[in-house]
Amino acid sequence: MDFTRIDALKSQLAAMRPLNAAELSRLRNEFIIENTYHSNAIEGNSLTLRETALILQEGITIAEKPLKEHLEAIGHRDAFQFIEELAGENTALTEAMARDIHSLILMNDAVNRGKYRNMPVMIMGALHTPPQPYLVPVQMEQLIADYSGMKQSKHVIEAVAEFHLRFESIHPFIDGNGRTGRLLLNLELIKAGLLPVNIKFADRRKYYDCFDSYATDSTADALVQLIATYEEEELTRRIHLLMDGTGKA
C-alpha cells in the first residue's frame, strides 16, 4: 500500500500552527468520549454515545444501565489518558505496559485485571483458536520482540496492524483484549507522530473481517487499509480545523 498521502498530511500538520490549549482540550475530550463509546460498543457495552458523555463529563449515573458498563467507560477513559502519558514520554512498548493498560480497562475485575489468562478460551465466530494459556507469555514476549523489527522494516501503519492482529490472536487476557489492543494500536500511532484513530461500531463487521483474513491467509492488508482510511480522515479533519478562511495555514 502507498502511504504517500498519509505521510504528506502528517508533514503538513506538523508544519502548521497548533491549536490553542482550550481548542486542543476540547478536541481531545471529544475524541476520548467517542473512542470510549465505540470501543466499548464493539465489545457489547449498551451505553449510547450520549450516556457515555454524561458519565465521563458529568459523573452522572444512568439508572437503567449496569454498574459494570459505567466502570467500563471510566476505565477506558483512564486508560486512554494513560497511553497519552506514555506517548508523551515515547515509552517503548512492553508486556508490562500492555498489562498496565489492561488493569485500567478491567477496573471492575480485581481478580483478572493486568493478568494473563490461565484458562483456554474460544472466540465465538472466529476462524482462529487462541493458544493454550501456558503459551501466552511465550507468544507475547515474541510479539513484543518481533514488533521492534516490524517498525524498522514496515510503515508504522503496517506494523501496528500486524501487531494488533497478532495480539488479538493470542488473546492474552480473559476479557478486555479488544479494548486493550485498540489502545495499544493508538499508542503506537501517537508515538509515530500520527493521530489516534477511532474504529467505529458501525464498521465492526469490516473490523472482524480483518481477523478472518489474517487467520485465512496471514495477511494484514485488510486492517492496514482500514487503519489508513481512518488515519487519513483524522489528519484531513485536523488540518481543516487549523486552516483559516482563505484555506491557508
- Alpha carbon distances (Å) from 221 to 49, 107, 161, 209, 237: 30, 33, 8, 11, 24
CB 112 within 8 A of CB 90: no
Question: Exposed, middle or buried, 97 (CB in 10 Å: 0-12/13-18/19+)?
Answer: middle
Pick the CATH number of 18-242 from 3.40.50.300, 3.40.109.10, 3.40.50.10420, 1.10.3290.10: 1.10.3290.10
The candidate with the shortest Cα–Cα distance to 159, out of 143, 147, 175, is: 147
Q: What is the mean pLDDT of residues 20-37?
A: 94
219-228, pLDDT tens digit by residue?
Answer: 999 999 999 9
Long-range contacts of 131-137 (CB under 8 A, 24+ apart): 131/170, 136/170, 136/172
Residue holding cell 460498543? 41
Which range (92-101, 123-132, 153-162, 180-189) has the least confidence? 123-132
Q: Give yes or no for residue 181 having a pLDDT over 70.
A: yes
**What was the pLDDT predicted at 203?**
97
128-139, pLDDT tens digit by residue?
Answer: 899 999 999 999
CB 52 within 8 A of CB 159: no
**What was the pLDDT predicted at 173?**
98
38-73, pLDDT tens digit by residue?
Answer: 999 999 999 999 999 999 999 999 999 999 999 999
User: Across the chain, what does the average pLDDT equal?
Assistant: 94
